[in-house]
Structure 1
């Protein structure tokens, strides 16, 4: 499972439209703009770290350890600023404080990895 850094994910969340279905006009595929464009979020998945295979758990834990607390707080703040993501977490009995990592899959699914306080 390829994980993006929390800072990169913060950028994605900051630029995500309120509706995941909205898409801007796509630039030509061979232009530099098309290659560096922020991914479009089409769906949201919330996964507890314990549900991941052991290898993926190790990857997530390694990335989390490399990130600073400031980056994690920024990510959580952006989540709190997005009503749809916040509501999806609350529907599962979670909040942004449970989110430890995020990833945008190639199909446009934003995956939030959570960890309940132990």
Structure 2
């Protein structure tokens, strides 16, 4: 819920900081408020909010490690299980580390392409 609230606040701030000149130009072209929002404000707002949102997505991925201690198993939880069950500390945790790094690099690459 915290991530959703932060994302909503992030998008709201990006929409509120739409330059007044863009809004005035859209009004001068005769666009309705819904059309101005759809064609002018939202695409530019998403473009401005994308870098901060990518940080939030990666932060959420990192927080999933904390959630694994309470609920479902994730990569780090499986590494802990391997350590307890077979005494394979290095293999389980190194695999989790490499997997997390790969996921973060893929997410970062995808957001850089979309920016």
- TM-score over 0.5 for the alignment? no
Instruction: Sort the TM-score into its range (normalised by shorter chain).
Output: under 0.3
When you count helix as a share of all residues, which structure comes out higher?
2
When you count strand as a share of all residues, which structure comes out higher?
1
> What TM-score, normalized to structure 2?
0.23
Q: Which has the higher contact order (CA 8 A, sep 6+)?
A: 1
